[in-house]
Structure formats: C-alpha cells, structure tokens
Structure 1
C-alpha cells in the first residue's frame, strides 16, 4: 500500500484546480499546467485539497497511486511558487553568459557551447560562474539543468566543471612522486 498516496494534496492560496474527464489542470500566478491521468487511479477535487485513490487492489493501481499524488503535488507547487536549480562553474577560463535567449558556455573546449532556453524555462547568469534555471515544471527544470551539467561534469581531481550548488564532489588524491 502507498504511504504517500494516502495523504491529500493541499491546494495553495491563489491556485485553482479543475478536473475535466481524465485531465487535471492547475492554474496559478506563474502559469498553467495539466496532467493526463491514467485509468488506474481516481482523483477527487475538494474545496482546498486534491485526493488521489486507487481504482483497484492490483499492483499497477497501487504503484500509480503514490506517483500520481507526487505529480499533482509537484504541479501545484510549480504554479504557485515555481522551481529553480542553481549551478556553479569551476575552472580557469570557464564561464557562462546569456545572449538573448541562448546560454553561451565556455568550458575549455575549442568552441563555445550555445544552449537555447526551451519554452517555459528561464535561464539567468548573475555572475560568469553561476547559472540559474527557473520554471514551473519540475521535470523540465531538472532536465535542462542536467543537460547543462552534462556539457562538462565535475571531475574528481581538481573539481573543474559544472556542478549543482548543493552537490558534493568527492575529491581523489593525485599522483605521488
């Protein structure tokens, strides 16, 4: 049985939730998101909460129960407060800058890397060594941050590369003479 799915999702102030058929829509101050529901779960929209329940006692219904509840919770948080990921660039000559809608990265390659910001995602650089990815869709924000990090992941000897702000890089000891 799901322990996550049992609890109803509270609806934040300023967010409206509507259920039309098998589509759940949430609208808040930052935007609007929708979620296509599977046939394994039932969703009930009450006054100030959204309750998810399984349709049957089979394994698929029970597994999708908690997953659907987490997706609904992420959707409601996204339209009310939004999500952000901060990254730090470490290394001599490594830097980032925004040019229009593109993130331009210099990461020690022979060429600069140009990454266009997808729709619904805002990328900003307060300093040349920091990048911030913001948006209302938790999955999209995480995916964009992971793609930027993948251009030059942090290496274990000097720690050079792109890393998340809260990421801890386990450092290795270099060669000994």
Structure 2
C-alpha cells in the first residue's frame, strides 16, 4: 500500500468537497473553487469530513496514480482553505521589480525591462522593490509562475546575483585565482 495514498485527508471547517461517481472532485472554500477529474479506477470516498482514496488492485498503473491522486486532492483542499505562496528575492546591484497592470516589470541587468503578465488566479505583489510574492490557490500554477520569473535571470554561482527563491541556497564558487 502506498504510504501517501493511504493517508486520510481531513477537510477543514469552511471547505466543502463533493465527489461524483465519475471521480470528479469539486472543492469550495473561502479562497475559491477547484474542480478536477481523476482516474476512474480509484475509489474516492467522502465520509465525516474525511476523504480516503482506495485502489481496487495492485496493478503497476493503479499503484502509480494512488499516491499522486491523494496528494492532488490534498493540495486542492489546502489551496482553497489557506492558499499557496512562493517568495522570490532579487539579488544584485540595480535589480528591482515593480507591479504594472497586474503583472511585473523587472530591471535585471538587461538593456530592456523584463515584463511578466499575471496568470489567471495568481496574485503577484512586490515588497521593498526586491521581494516578489506569488500567491494563488493552485499549487502547480504558483510554482510554475515562480519558476518562470526565476528563469529570467537565474542566480549565478560566483556572486549570487539573480532571482532566487527565499529558501534557496546558492552554492558559491571560488572564482579565478591570480
């Protein structure tokens, strides 16, 4: 049995979950609504504010999606109740960001400003010109938007300049010896 797949998902107060016989899960909460269709081979049950995901057999294809399905449903519940947030830091002289038309405009050492449009359902805020917060209810979309921002100027290993996650540790190199 999958260690992740057999865990029970506890639905917090204020979150409403509906499961159809076709394995379409709809989660409504204070931050929004998410709907996703899952594989019909699995059994998703909702009882007493607890969600369980069960598999009928141990075929490799069913085993592979068991834990993933449970994790996706848990992310949906967490997203509509508390949301997800990624924080990015701009490190370097002259590197700064500003909110513009719902998106971002960043100066990253190029001859032109880097403009990033906001994805639907994603809020990007700037603090102190060098800290960017990406927030939303879908974990994968928040992570993808943050990765796209980071890819515009990934941190380099010699001085650590670039766009990095707040919890990221940059492995530094020594540089040229004279």
Which TM-score band applies after superposition, normalised by the shorter structure?
over 0.9
- 1:9-158 residue pairs with structure 2 within 5 A? 9-20=9-20, 21-158=22-159
1:157, distance to aligned residue in structure 2 (A): 0.1
Mark the runs of 5 or more structure 2 residues left unpaired by the alignment.
none
What's the Cα RMSD here?
Answer: 0.8
For each residue in 1:43-101, what CA deviation from the matched residue of structure 2 results, as whole angstroms up to 9, or x when unmatched?
Answer: 01112111100132211111111110000101000000000000100011111000121
Normalising to structure 2: TM-score of the pair?
0.97
In the TM superposition, what is the alpha-carbon distance from 1:13 to its structure 2 partner?
Answer: 1.0
Normalising by structure 1, we get a TM-score of: 0.98
Q: Partner of 1:125: helix, strand, or coil?
A: strand
Aligned length, in residue pairs: 177
Q: Which runs of 4+ in 1 moved over 2 A?
A: none
